[in-house]
Chains A and B, each alone.
Chain A
Amino acid sequence: MILLWLECDANGVTEISLETVAFARSLSAAGGGIVIRAALFGDVPEAARDQLAAHGVDEVHHVTGSAYDAYSGAAWASALQDIRERTTCVVVAAAGSPRGNEVIAHLAARLDVPMAANVLSFSGLAPFEVTRQVAGGSALEDMRLPRRPALFTVAGHSWTATPADQRTTPVWHEESPAVAEADLIARVSARGEAKEDSSGALTSSRVVVGAGRGAGGPNGFGGVMELAEMLDGALGVSRVVTSLGWRPHHEQIGQTGSRISPELYIPCGISGAIQHWAGCSSSKTILAINTDAEAPMVTKAHYAVIGDMHEVVPAIVAELKRRAV
């Protein structure tokens, strides 16, 4: 059996958690129809129930109780360990999100078994071999997971969150496994207000307008921000921009920033270094705006405009306004 740790936001199960379910369905099929169980912690929005059925989850373990009100990697892994022991699951996986990697790493340490982070695909079942992203996505590693349970996380946006061919009627288990005091020492003790324009908007927007060193300075973002607003999109930046303090770190796209997969990404004045590419390569369409026709961002893009972003972007904004009337 396969056990998945899934995350929710206000709208239901997160996109990358549903991608993990799609991965698990493929694994289930390869193993002749292995049962898929999901563990969800805390508040589960109503929409999630329908999503779990549509995406082919067979059994749901909904974990609540005072021990789980605030996040603690150790406590959540302890509950996951409890479920996995009762259900004898041979695979436990989560999305390759910060929390997904953290919870699975806790479980790996508790069980003293290997863990593979950011898995893209699997090849053999026995031995179980996976391919995962390393070096910020610029290299792949074939890795064996010889011990049971096999523990891994699924790289964000490497699978598509499509519903299953057949809906399921998940069996719902409400539970509250006991947790040792020691596992509750490192738990969230205070929470601040979410930043209004936090990276949530960046990772969920259909359109992202990017800006790099080509912006020229902290005051060079007016045009790209106006374009982002007109397209109902979000602004993302390169690391040069955050390092120079032109824009806040939570807007950074890349290996050490957010990974995005919008319908359209418009990088302006961004060279397309491998660490930046690691965060934007799964965009459906890329339109690069750059003065340099040889920049990697241009050669890797689907479309490009060669020119100064401070001239091209305002011209696009003007054209959008012209067509709007």
Chain B
Amino acid sequence: MVNVLVCVKRVPDSSSQVVLTPDNQAVDGRHAGFTVSSHEECAIELAVRLAEATGGLATVLTLGPAEATEQLRSALAVGCGAAVHIEADGVAFGPADVAREIAAVVRSHEAEGRGHDLVLLGNDASDTGDFQVGIRLAYALGLPVVNGVSTLEVADGVVSAHVDGPDGPETYSVPTPMVATVLEGGVEPRYPTLKGRIGAKKVELETRSAATQPAGAHRVRLRLPPPAPTTVEILGEGPEAAPSVVDLFEKLGIR
């Protein structure tokens, strides 16, 4: 039985044009809508598969505003069995703050006899891209951490975590409890079924408030990069453009 905690962050959907909030402290998702990062969707999938395969429980957690319960419900709809909402203004929380808050929940679950064998996070959040919450969490809990995991298995209290390393595939064998951050690409996240969606509505959320005052993210402001000038030169239309294309290759010294 493997109990997994998977941490997700409510972020603006990044498939449309980026807009900033009026105070320039965050990306505004009001028009684009909200989601979780694709790395986290894969982390949820891995958590649910492990729980299903071992008769364990996948618990989803988020720190964020009241609306972030939407993201918890979506995770419940694809197979998570429990959800924790740390109610807080996420923007005021820097990565070290978030890690500390998640650690407090993990410790309190442990004390209540419902500890987690594995904590999964995304490799990086698609809005702030800090690349560090998972690692900070591991240190806060005194646990080992593997970064950038694409797939994993657990057997006899040992996690085999597979990473696409710079020189080829790598495996880490680490005893539980441990922390892993997930990179998309190893598994295909499932879609919720109607039954899943109805079931998700019935789950009672564990709501908590933040344990400490946040130190913040040291953010001065966000800005949008200046638009690149468009100076495209159309070489032609259809196959007739081929000679001009090859002329360009020659000009660039490509062949």
Central interface residue in A109, A190, A323, by most chain B CB within 10 Å: A109
Closest partner residue, chain A, to B253 (CB atom): A263
Q: Which residues of A are found within 8 Å of B238, using beta-carbon distances?
A: 305-308, 311-312, 315
Closest partner residue, chain A, to B248 (CB atom): A303
Q: Judging by beta carbons under 8 Å apart, are A299 and B224 in contact? A: no
Q: How far is the CB of B203 from chain A (nearest CB, A)?
A: 29
Q: Tell me if B83 is interfacial: C-beta within 8 Å of chain A.
A: no
Q: How far is the CB of A275 from chain B (nearest CB, A)?
A: 6
Q: How far is the CB of A23 from chain B (nearest CB, A)?
A: 17
Q: Tell me if B94 is interfacial: C-beta within 8 Å of chain A.
A: yes
Q: Judging by beta carbons under 8 Å apart, are B127 and A135 in contact? A: yes
Residues of A in contact, count (CB < 8 Å): 91
Q: Which residues of B are found within 8 Å of A193, using beta-carbon distances?
A: 168-169
Binary flags per residue of B117-129, CB closer than 8 Å to A gives 1, else 0: 0000001101111
Q: Judging by beta carbons under 8 Å apart, are A139 and B20 in contact? A: yes
Binary flags per residue of A79-114, CB closer than 8 Å to B gives 1, else 0: 000000000000000000111011001101110101
Interface residues of B in 133-175 (CB under 8 A from A): 135-136, 138-140, 142, 144-148, 163-175
Q: Which residues of B are found within 8 Å of A61, using beta-carbon distances?
A: none
Residues of B in contact, count (CB < 8 Å): 80
Known: A97-B166, A188-B170. A139 touches B245 (CB 8 A): no
Q: Judging by beta carbons under 8 Å apart, are A109 and B135 in contact? A: yes
Closest partner residue, chain A, to B27 (CB atom): A135
Q: Judging by beta carbons under 8 Å apart, are A142 and B237 in contact? A: no
Which of B17, B145, B222, B252 contacts A73 (CB under 8 A)?
A: B145
Central interface residue in B20, B27, B219, B246, by most chain A CB within 10 Å: B246
Q: Which of B43-51, B55-63, B85-93, B228-236 contacts A (4 or more CB under 8 A)?
A: B228-236
Q: How far is the CA of A200 from the CA of B164 in the complex (A)?
A: 12
Q: Could you name 19 residue pairs across A and B whose Cβ atoms are closer than 8 Å? A: A9-B167, A108-B135, A109-B138, A114-B94, A135-B126, A135-B129, A140-B223, A141-B222, A189-B172, A231-B254, A255-B126, A264-B249, A287-B245, A298-B232, A300-B228, A302-B231, A302-B233, A304-B232, A305-B234
> Chain A residues in contact with chain B, CB under 8 A?
7, 9, 71, 73-74, 97-99, 101-102, 105-106, 108-110, 112, 114-115, 117-118, 129, 133-146, 153, 182, 185-195, 198, 200, 206-207, 230-232, 242, 249-250, 252, 255-256, 263-264, 273-275, 281, 285, 287-288, 293, 298-308, 311-312, 314-316, 318-320, 323
